Amino acid sequence: MNIISYNLNGIRSALGKGFAEWLSSENPDIACIQETKAQPEQIDNSVFESLGYNCYWFSAKKKGYSGVGLLSKQKPDKIVYGVNNELFDDEGRFLRADYGDISVISTYFPSGSNDERQQIKMLYLEFFRKYIKKLQNVRKKLVINGDFNICRLWIDIHNPNQQQNTSGFLPEEREWFQNFIDDGFTDAFRHINNEPHKYSWWSYRAGARPRNKGWRIDYSIISNNLTDKIKNADILKDVVHSDHCPVKLCLDI
> H-type helices in the chain, by residue range?
11-15, 19-26, 45-49, 86-89, 115-136, 171-182, 188-192
CB atoms within 10 A of CB 130: 10
Q: Is 131 helix (H, G, I), strand (E, B) or coil?
A: helix
3-class secondary structure per residue, 222-237: EEHHHHHHEEEEEECC
Q: Which of 29, 89, 98, 147 is catalytic?
A: 147
**CA angle (198 as vertex; 161, 93 as ends), nearest 5:** 90
Residue 149 to residue 40: CA distance in whole angstroms:
24
State residue 118 phi and psi, 5-degree precision: -65, -40
Is residue 44 part of the annotated active site? The answer reads no
Q: Is 4 helix (H, G, I), strand (E, B) or coil?
A: strand
Residue 150 to residue 109: CA distance in whole angstroms:
9
Whether the CA torsion 70, 24, 216, 7 is positive or negative: it is negative
Q: List residues bridging with 55 in a β-sheet.
A: 71
Which residues are marked as active site?
147
